[in-house]
Chain A
């Protein structure tokens, strides 16, 4: 039973399109995140949601919008896709105050904008 699952695993789309990536966690964690791994392999945080509230937004363009219908889901919507958005996007979750296990990551969505 996958703890953090994200779909799709691969996404190829044209510039200017709008797309969504879905993420679900079944661990009962109270915080979910989106990370971006760019071509230089850096993993950088984009958003985190705690109890349906956006906690941080690391200078991400407003074309990116997280949507959390409930504590177990954090979807990522991207409008007007650009070539530079091509990357691997990872969803993750954690439980605030639990220090031993860090984050649990999904397997990633490889987005290619052509």
Chain B
């Protein structure tokens, strides 16, 4: 039973345009959400997070939006750059902490390809 879903296995975006990656979750106990970026043969690296008490968090070119009523979050990257080409994982936590000992539940990932 997938509690965190990323329904797009891949996404292709032109350089300079906006990339929008989507994530849906089913567990209403989740209260902290994170995005990770992963290059081949490397571990996931933390990108940006959002607490359930907020609906938006911005860090440079990256913005995460949370719609709790729809149990949906999205990551916006603008403008998209070639170095953004990677797999992006959405993750969620139910412990009111992004680093809680209860672990993170991950989606399956979306492969973002930035076209020159």
Contacts and interface: CB of A to CB of B under 8 A. Distances in A.
Contact of A56 (B87, B103, B109): B103
A99 B89 CA distance: 18
Nearest to B32: A99
A101 B42 contact: no
Given A102-B34, A102-B36, A102-B46, A55 B102 contact: yes
Contacts of A97: 97, 99
**How big is the B interface, by class?**
20 to 34
Contacts of B108: 40-42
Contacts of B109: 41, 43
Contacts of A98: 97-99
A102 B97 CA distance: 8
B36, B41, B49, B99: residue with the most chain A Cβ atoms closer than 10 Å: B99
A100 interface: yes
**How big is the A interface, by class?**
20 to 34
Nearest to A95: B99
Interface in B72-116: 87, 89, 91, 96-106, 108-109
Contact of B42 (A42, A58, A107): A107
A101 B91 CA distance: 13
B97 A99 contact: yes
Interface stretch (A11-19, A44-52, A69-77): A44-52
Interface of A: 4, 29, 31, 33, 40-45, 48, 50, 55-56, 58, 90, 92, 94-108
11 contacts: A42-B108, A43-B89, A43-B106, A43-B109, A90-B43, A99-B96, A99-B97, A99-B98, A101-B98, A101-B99, A107-B41
